Amino acid sequence: MRPWVTAAIVVVLFVAVVGVAFRQVAGPTAAQAQSPPAPANAPVSSTPTPPAVPRALIFYTSEQRGYLEPCGCSKPMIGGIARRARYFARLPAEVSSLKVDNGDLIEVPDRQHELKAEALAQFYQKAGYDAVNLGEKDFMLGFGYLRYLQRLSNVAFLSANVMRGENKAAFEPYTVRPVRWGSGSLPVAIVGLLSQAYAKQVAQWNPDLTVADPSAALDKLKPELEAKAKFVLLLFHGELEDARALVRSRPWVNVAVTAHEAEEYRAQPVTEGGTMLVNAGQKGKHIGQVEIKSTADGEPVPELLAPVPMEETIGDDPATRDILRQYLSHVASENLLAAVPKQKSPNGQAFAGTANCLKCHAKPHQVWTKSAHAHAFRTLVNVGHQADPDCVGCHVVGLEFQGGFRTIAQTPQFKDVGCEACHKPQASHARKPAAFKPKKVGATACANCHVPDHSPGFEFARYWAKIKH
């Protein structure tokens, strides 16, 4: 074979291989994948093949709502910031990317969620996020605390239409970040806006802040954005229909990330007036992906890729795991478990403790001792969540009721998912069995803990067969 023929064959094979490798990194388009694939293999490979032509990816998340890591008793459990950081860290260096979040870091305005927001701020810094657009729930933390979080993260906190005073934005309206684009770079403007539907919530926690018309704010920014950037990414913390109305007459916005659609990601893009609208769902279960591609005449255009599920196979990033350990240490040292509100007994009786059921219910007790319920608290100890109010309630008896679990040292008789976790307090029945007979319970007794987030695929009949008594 002639030398030039051999060389040509080698070149063709090399181009084919690296083309496939990049598709493994970026994932299939939304049209190619109706359901999310397993996590892309190339980003978590120790020896990824670089793409032939570097392309730019936008990674977007939204509405973390305090879910720092997956928690549950059945698999598959997806999500967690330690997995997300691991995924980002193992992307090939040749892949140029932007990382953005569309707000609602927290769910409620309590001390634990303040600590969660601090952990997220540290994570954003470690993971190299480019911008965070603030949601209405974030403003429950107060303007001053949000400023503190911004300094902690060293990441741009955006909100172009939340005003402090007559003409001054409370946070940065936008930021411009370059991505590699062929042999040069492409400046991308990232704009943050909040729907006016949340104006009352913002004012409730921040009387000195107002939410201006997002349309007017966006139009005011247009000359600056056109002068500084060639691609506009809008982080709009609002519902899809509000977003559609906002971008309908503004085709210069290339991509808009929405919020408050559904817990799961939206697999297909919505196009409105030339703008692609996307949503990655909630609680960090998936990372959304948009690739910035080039048209024949060199113009940047977006293409939606399938989202990446944060599955266990990705593994955890050690530095982010340290952030989570520090967070749990603060939760424990501040004794947030003691701050859980206590309700009155649901049936007027006191708690007896599982040991007091043994003398009359020996066979059911034997079934219980062989079940996962009997060592539910130990599973928390194994992962360091034994002082975490988010978790303890479903691993003990009566955390939310007077006379129930307090701490393992004070109330060891109420650890694990004992009889009264389902049958309610039964101290009177334990003293006088005939006079106080408990009611039978069914699937509703499981509903408080076996929710989709913590127990995906839960089916009462199948689970009951394991503990029938």
CA distance 376 to 230: 54
| Per-residue pLDDT tens digits for 178-204 | 999 888 899 999 999 999 999 999 999
pLDDT at residue number 464: 80
The residues spanned by each domain of the chain are 3-324, 342-467
CB 36 within 8 A of CB 308: yes
Query: Which of 141, 77, 79, 129 shows the shortest CA–CA distance to 105?
Result: 141
CB 73 within 8 A of CB 291: no
CB 311 within 8 A of CB 78: yes
CB 29 within 8 A of CB 304: yes
pLDDT at residue number 46: 37
Torsion angle (degrees, nearest 10) of CA 329, 331, 335, 338:
-150
Q: Per CATH, which fold does 342-467 belong to?
A: Flavocytochrome C3; Chain A, domain 2 (1.10.1130)
How many Cβ atoms are within 10 Å of 145's Cβ, its own excluded? 17
**Is the preceding omega at residue 300 within 30 degrees of 0, hence cis?**
no
Residue 293 backbone phi and psi in degrees, to 5? -105, 175
Query: Which of 291, 262, 294, 259 shows the shortest CA–CA distance to 277?
Result: 259
CA distance 308 to 172: 29
Residue with tokens 């989570």: 324
CB 99 within 8 A of CB 142: no
Query: Which of 319, 311, 318 shows the shortest CA–CA distance to 80?
Result: 311
Residue 121 backbone phi and psi in degrees, to 5? -60, -45
Kindly calculate the radius of gyration of the chain based on its CA atoms and give it in whole angstroms: 26
How many Cβ atoms are within 10 Å of 121's Cβ, its own excluded? 24
Pairing type for strands 162-164 and 209-211 reads: antiparallel
CATH of 3-324, one of 1.10.3720.10, 3.40.50.720, 3.40.50.970, 3.60.21.10: 3.60.21.10
State the DSSP code for 172.
B
Alpha helix stretches (DSSP H) within 281-317: none
CA atoms within 13 A on the CB side of 205: 19
* Element at 131 (helix H, strand E): strand 131-133
Q: Is 273 exposed, middle or buried (0-12, 13-18, 19+ CB in 10 A)?
A: middle
pLDDT at residue number 72: 78
CA distance 11 to 25: 21
| Per-residue pLDDT tens digits for 101-156 | 999 999 999 999 999 999 999 999 999 999 999 999 999 999 999 999 999 999 99
How many Cβ atoms are within 10 Å of 430's Cβ, its own excluded? 21
| Per-residue pLDDT tens digits for 269-304 | 999 999 999 999 999 999 999 999 998 888 999 999
Instruction: Please indicate whether the domains covering 3-324 and 342-467 agree at the CATH topology level.
Output: no
- 346 three-state secondary structure: coil
Query: Which of 278, 319, 273 shows the shortest CA–CA distance to 125?
Result: 319
Query: In order along the chain (469 residues), what is the average pLDDT of each group of 10 residues?
Result: 44 41 46 41 39 74 96 84 97 93 97 98 98 98 97 97 90 97 92 98 97 97 97 98 97 97 90 96 96 91 96 96 98 96 94 90 90 92 94 94 94 93 91 86 85 80 83
